[in-house]
Amino acid sequence: MTIAELEEAKAKSLGEIAAAADAAALEALRVRYVGRNGSIPALIKAMKDVPKEDRPAFGKAVQQWRAEVEAALAGKTVQGGGKRVDCDITLPGRWRACGVEHPLSRVVEESAAIFGRLGFTVADGPEFENVFNNFTALNTPAHHPTMDRSDTFWFGDDCLLRTQTSPVQIRTMMANKPPVRVICPGRTYRRDTTDATHSANFHQIEGLYVDTKPVSLADLKSVLAYFAKEMMGDGVTVRFRPHFFPFTEPSVEVDFSCHVCKGRGCGVCKQSGWIEVAGAGMVDPRVFRHVGYDPDVVSGYAFGFGVERVAMIKYGIPDIRWFYENDIRFLEQLG
Ligand code: DAH
């Protein structure tokens, strides 16, 4: 090969590299020209056949060719698909959405952690329930309004969407000997029309403590007072108001002192200084009999509160529907 032929071959190789459409074509050219058995190494090996006086000039030209091919290969960027990638470093970075925990999940997780510190474990139950677990064993008679077709989603005579998490109390006691100490977070259903504070499907957390040692209303109050302080902040206290639930005797409604105004009265607590949060009471002896516990031997308390309700007051959310719309702006603000 003469130097003129070499220059011609070099121009051809550089043209091919410039025109390579994709990474595979580029690699083939690398192999063809500078690979172990490529044409440039072959020329170097054949150097001994070049007349002695031409060798320095020829050798220089070959090295130059190799350098230019290598530079061209390194400088050329192709994509798998074959398009050139233009990198404009003045463009803004690519934004990638980052997930956040839903506020309802946060309240559930936090509640499980708080009650966990007091020895409660988490129990679970199905959302489809039967009449015994959702009503009968909870001492709720057949004429009770919640059994009405207009209040509960029924699927036949003995299948319904649970109206509360309380049936998990029944399942837990039927499956375990006392003592039991559980909370049961879960989804519940009522035939409510949805407005700012009601939803046909919402979440509750049930609590149950039963022991062969005497359990009192004072134990219940201390546990809920601890929960109130941990969940809503220091200085939040609880008060009990007499109430009625079929499955507890006595029954109470539980208020937290308003964490916003510290009990002085504000818009959040409707000037009362208190916010209603839960229902609770001492487990009714009839409930114990339904699950095969002896009410002369065991005693216990139970409570139930709405997850949405706690999240609404904790985070100052005025409309329950915001929890279900999955508006990223809302979720991010709270995350
Ligand atoms: N299940 C009740 C409700 O949905 C809440 C409740 C009240 C649960 C008292 C309890 C309890 O365990 O003891 O309104």
- State pTM to two decimals: 0.73
Is residue 82 situated within a structural domain?
A: no
Whose Cα sits closest to atom 8 in ligand 1?
Answer: 304
pLDDT of res. 85: 61
Same domain for 184 and 131: yes
For residue 135, the CA-to-ligand 1 centroid distance in Å is 12
Mode of pairing for the β-strands spanning 299-306 and 180-189: unpaired
Same domain for 108 and 255: yes
Q: Tokens 């230019």 sit at which residue? A: 68
pLDDT of res. 111: 98
**Residue 293: CATH number of its domain:** 3.30.930.10
Same domain for 129 and 29: no
Q: Please count the structural domains in the chain.
A: 2
Centre a 10 Å sphere on the Cβ of residue 154 and count the other Cβ atoms it contains. 15
Measured from the Cα of 207, ligand 1's closest atom is 12
Same domain for 151 and 58: no
Question: Does residue 209 surpass a pLDDT of 90?
Answer: yes
Nearest to 279 by CA among 249, 237, 319, 317: 249
Q: How far is CA 241 from CA 23, 82, 250, 274, 278, in A?
A: 76, 74, 11, 11, 11
Same domain for 261 and 136: yes
Measured from the Cα of 247, ligand 1's closest atom is 13
Whose Cα sits closest to atom 2 in ligand 1?
Answer: 304
Give mean pLDDT, residues 80-85: 53
Same domain for 277 and 139: yes
pLDDT of res. 91: 87
CA angle, corner 109, sides to 251 and 179, nearest 5?
Answer: 50
Question: Does residue 4 surpass a pLDDT of 70?
Answer: yes
Mode of pairing for the β-strands spanning 160-161 and 128-129: antiparallel
pLDDT of res. 84: 58
pLDDT of res. 81: 47
Is residue 271 situated within a structural domain?
A: yes
DSSP assignment of 224-257, as one string?
HHHHHHHHH-TT--EEEEEEEETTEEEEEEEEEE
Domain that holds residue 60: 3-75
Enumerate residues lining ligand 1, CB below 6 A: 164, 166, 206, 245, 247-248, 279-281, 302-304
Whose Cα sits closest to atom 4 in ligand 1?
Answer: 164
Question: Does residue 332 surpass a pLDDT of 70?
Answer: yes
Say if residues 254 and 277 touch (Cβ distance below 8 Å).
yes
Give mean pLDDT, residues 103-117: 97
